[in-house]
Amino acid sequence: MIMEKRTLTVRHQLQYAGGKPVLTEPKTPRAGRTVHLPDVALTALKKHRIRQLEERLRAGDAWQDWGLVFASEVGTPCLP
């Protein structure tokens, strides 16, 4: 988990193909990296996660779980 290890690992990237969002592998090995999270980033991500969980409750059955850190109010990818 991000919070326990204090790291974030990039495993996918979001691309639009034919106007539809698609999760793909990072283009280069360096793009799929793990980075250490400083305290300020960890705090911001914790607050963001709480807001996202609240949005998920409000969305109810409309929520689409893409597993994204940053998503729309219904869990789908944000528009570019």
Q: Which has the closest alpha carbon to 66: 75, 74, 57?
A: 75
Distance CA 51, CA 48 (A): 5
* Gyration radius of the chain's alpha carbons: 14
Q: What is the dihedral of CA 58, 61, 43, 69, to 10 degrees?
A: -140
Per DSSP, 21 falls in state E
Q: What is the pTM of this model?
A: 0.77
Taking only the tens place, the pLDDT of each residue in 23-80 is 998 888 777 788 899 999 999 999 999 999 999 999 999 999 998 989 999 999 988 7
Q: What was the pLDDT predicted at 79?
A: 80
